[in-house]
Structure 1
Amino acid sequence: MKYVVVLGDGMADYPMKELDNKTPLQYAKKPNIDMLAKKGTVGLVKTIPEGIPPGSDAANLSVMGYNPRVYYTGRSPLEAVSMGISLLPTDVALRCNLVYLSEDESNYADRTMIDYSSDEISTEEARVLIEAVNAALKNQNINFYPGISYRHCLVWSNGKTGLGCTPPHDILERKVTDYLPKEESGMLLDLMIKSYDILKDHPVNRSRRDRGLRPANSIWLWGEGRKPALASFSEKYGKTGTMISAVDLLKGIGLCAGLESVDVEGATGNIHTNFIGKANAAIAELDSGKDFVYVHVEAPDECGHRYEIENKVKSIEYLDQKIVAPILEGLKKHRDYRVLVLPDHPTPLSLRTHTSEPVPFIIYDSTREVVSEAQCYDEAEAGKTGIFVGEGYKLMDWFITGKI
């Protein structure tokens, strides 16, 4: 038996008047996913436990079969692991975004969060900027590590958690005044303020302005945590597996769970990603003997944060055409297989951030096709079936064993 998870990050949504009062999932043309819904089991699953912030970190841990209440320690240590950073038990890792803040105000706290990704700055430009920040601000306890595009990491030796940090994508077009770190010593805020002075006139940013691009004029620190100790996925489920994602967070979850991670050329984490390359990588992993692949697609989430209605619909259609369709074709040679399709959480366009509502899922088993109560795959159809998994981490048990 082969097992494939196809996860469209943030794919679930609310009805939009611009989409004839349909959600993006209802509006999108997705014949392959709808076919799986008609022949599989469709329901709702709550991936975010009460009291835990609705992030992709906790949600994907849940989908992977790990109870966030037990294993969730924060987002950044998972990303640090993916980046090859060795963390001691006393280290605290923080996500370090390169953001674009408004520039007319003299006081840092009065600036507005314009863009959490600095126009999705290139990895090459970002590396230069993070290296400049590290050269100026590192000390025996603080080190900055460059990552991909706007996503980077700070490691704080003997650091603290519970710092009151806010994800920058949650405060777009808002003044940052009420969202600055609440850490007692003020060290993190001091690093952010100093980074603005380092970056605002950096040659990389002067060049970006000349090309009509937004500069990356500040770091933004958030998502702190310590390295989690995940039980091995292979020991937990008796399956070998691979994570396929362009996002360090998902790669880190996979690596911490003992899965392999495959980098796909052209995989970007946005709508311009190499969808077909991810599908081909998944089939190659299964053909090479792996039992399980987890294909993560970030694009719907990015479109939700950026209020890109048309692109969110398009990202779902691409996922159907360029990932689900070729994976189903590649699975035919294996005959016995299961496919799980779902989002990790909603990212409603109207809110531009994550929410905690249950999300729709499909479990399709090629050896046990059924006549589903769902006619297609979307939030409303999933709700009609009456199937509800209240503890999201139990869905993986159901998917692997066939029993809930």
Structure 2
Amino acid sequence: MKYLLILADGMADYKIEELGGQTPLQYARTPNMDILAPNSFIGAVRTIPAGYPPGSDVANLAVMGYDPRQFYTGRSPLEAASMGIELNSQDLALRCNLVTLSSERNYADKTMVDYSAGEISSAESASLIDSINRKLGNQTFAFYPGISYRHLMIWKSGADKSIELTPPHDISDRPIGIHLPQGPDGEVLLNLMTASEEIMSEHPVNQSRVERGLNPASSLWFWGEGTKPQLDSFEMKYRLKGSVVSAVDLVKGLGICAGLRPVKVEGATGGIVTNFAGKIRAALDELKAGQDFVYLHIESPDEAGHQGDLKAKIWAIEQIDQEVLGLLRAEIDGFDDLRILLLPDHPTPLQLKTHTAEPVPFLIFDKNHLYPSKLKYFNEETASNGHFIEEGHQLMDLFISNGRG
């Protein structure tokens, strides 16, 4: 049996008046989902345990079959694994976003204009992070370039630091004052953030972006702190050899920590516009080459949700249906046995521009064992009338065992 999990990040949403009271998933044109749904096992799953933040780190950990209450140690260490950064038990990893803040003189009076600095390119941001590391890096702090606006800082021997940090996408268009680093050690990070402002304001990359009418990367923003994780091997856990296809360091790193083989796809960006067809092509090639399981992650609808862009979110969902599921259905006969799991990791409601913890819809389709369903479509509403899984990490057990309740 071959297993393909397609994770459409942040695809779930709330009903929107502009769409006639439908969610973007309900409204979008999804003919391939519509063909699969009547013969699939459909339900809803709670991917965020009570008391945990509704982040992609917690949610994807659960979807991959690991109980966050046992295995979660923070977001950034997973990204470090993807970037090949070795951590010891005393290192603290922190996500280091490049963000655009408003222009008030006093740092605490500024507003979060853009959590992604206009989805800045990886080449531009690498140049900025290099300058930051040369001027702010030392034996205690080291900065590492990632993809687009997503970067990493390692605080050596900082595992026991007391800090409270806020994800920048949680405060889009809002004043940052009450969301600056808190706790006894928060001032250290705030000093780095304020120091980064002057460095980046003078940088040629930002000067060029301003001249082109693009949002500059005006400051660092720290969040997602954590220490080195210890995950059980996915292969030992499920007796399946697997791969992970993702352009996002978080999910790629999670897969690496679980022993999955990372697969790079040319043109995969981790943004709204990405190489949808290339990703599913890579996933199918992995299965054909002998892997038993592939975790295919697509960030696009989540980024659209964070930006509050309704048109882009609908487009992202339709691209997943057309480019990903369309190619999958065209080639499904090339597999003797294939089971598919499709779901988001969490909702990213457009009206909130951030993640929420409500249960998300899931669909399991087994090529050779169709499951005639009364639920004719795949969306948040139909899933709420299907099978419900309270513990998110148990969904993988269901998927691998028999694909139905």
- TM-score normalised to the size of structure 2? 0.98
Structure 2 counterpart of 1:357: 358
Contact 1:123/1:150 (8 A) holds in 2: yes
Residues 5-404 of structure 1: pairs in structure 2 closer than 5 A: 5-103=5-103, 105-159=104-158, 160-185=160-185, 186-385=187-386, 387-402=387-402
Contact 2:119/2:271 (8 A) holds in 1: no
Q: Deviations over 1:141-189 (max 9, x none)?
A: 1100011111000001111355110000000111110001113131111
SS in structure 2 at match of 1:282: helix
CA distance in 2, matches of 1:332, 1:61: 31
SS in structure 1 at match of 2:339: strand
List runs of 5+ in structure 2 lacking aligned partners. Answer: none
CA distance in 2, matches of 1:139, 1:39: 58
CA distance in 1, matches of 2:226, 2:120: 25
SS in structure 2 at match of 1:5: strand
Once the two structures are overlaid, the 10-residue window that deviates more, 119-128 or 32-41, is 32-41
Displacement, 1:358? 0.3
CA distance in 2, matches of 1:168, 1:328: 38
CA distance in 1, matches of 2:389, 2:299: 24
Match of 1:165, as an amino acid? Answer: L
Contact 2:140/2:155 (8 A) holds in 1: yes
SS in structure 2 at match of 1:47: coil
List runs of 5+ in structure 1 lacking aligned partners. Answer: none
SS in structure 2 at match of 1:384: coil
CA distance in 1, matches of 2:325, 2:90: 42
SS in structure 2 at match of 1:209: helix
Match of 1:226, as an amino acid? Answer: T
Displacement, 1:365? 1.2
SS in structure 2 at match of 1:43: strand
SS in structure 1 at match of 2:369: coil
Contact 1:282/1:327 (8 A) holds in 2: no
Match of 2:36, as an amino acid? Answer: L
Match of 1:306, as an amino acid? Answer: Q
Contact 1:41/1:363 (8 A) holds in 2: yes
Q: Deviations over 1:342-400 (max 9, x none)?
A: 00000001111100000000111112102112110001111122x10000000000100
Q: Deviations over 1:80-117 (max 9, x none)?
A: 110110111111100000001011x2211111110011
CA distance in 2, matches of 1:106, 1:318: 42
Displacement, 1:274? 0.4
CA distance in 1, matches of 2:272, 2:201: 28
How many positions carry a matched residue from both structures? 402
Once the two structures are overlaid, the 10-residue window that deviates more, 198-207 or 374-383, is 198-207
Q: Deviations over 1:268-292 (max 9, x none)?
A: 1122100000011011101100011
Identity of aligned residues (%): 54
Contact 1:246/1:269 (8 A) holds in 2: yes
Flag as ranges the 4+ runs of structure 1 deviating above 4 A: none
CA distance in 2, matches of 1:66, 1:167: 23
